[in-house]
Amino acid sequence: MDREQPFTALMADARRAVVALDNLSLRDGTKSTGRAVRDGKDVYVRLLKGALKAERQEVRGVGLDAETRCVHYHSTLDVVAIRMACCSIYYACKDCHDMLADRDIRVWPRSEWSACAALCGACGCELTIHQYMNSGCRCPHCNAGFNPVCRNHYHFYFESEGAV
């Protein structure tokens, strides 16, 4: 399928336009389910079918691959997307959120850690914050490995355990 195929604009503003593209063939051989354009650069959006839910989850980020790796974090273990507390949208990482969203990140308060806010990019399974933090760096559904270094970034997404 040609990258220049016509598409339907869903939303446009001075900073970006999000457009619908069904089954756009990407260089990695996968299919896109959407595209955002920001500052003249393409940002592909993937929708993953949730393993535990019937609906598909949207994941936003810059340079996403089929398992939610982005240009910022792209090791074989970087397969977790986080639902941001500020907007309830999954992003590949905080840097992707900073580049694409029009709001600051808000951390999930401890009182809401039973909310589903982590998504395995390998299988689409949603995890609560408690499940994600206690997963042993593996998806409990498909056993995909998660990057253990991501623990160093919890404070960007989740209220620190010592906070009052």
Tell me the per-residue pLDDT of 11-41, one tens digit each, with 9 for 90 and over. Answer: 232 223 233 333 444 444 554 455 444 444 4
Sorted by where each begins, the domain ranges of the chain are 8-157
Q: pTM of the entire structure?
A: 0.68
Given this model, what pLDDT does residue 36 score?
47
* pLDDT tens figures, 84-141: 999 999 999 999 999 999 999 999 999 999 999 999 999 999 999 999 999 999 999 9
The 8 Å CB, 24+ separation contacts for 49-53 are 49/124, 50/119, 50/124, 50/125, 50/126, 51/120, 51/123, 51/124, 51/125, 51/126, 51/141, 51/142, 52/125, 52/126, 52/141, 53/126
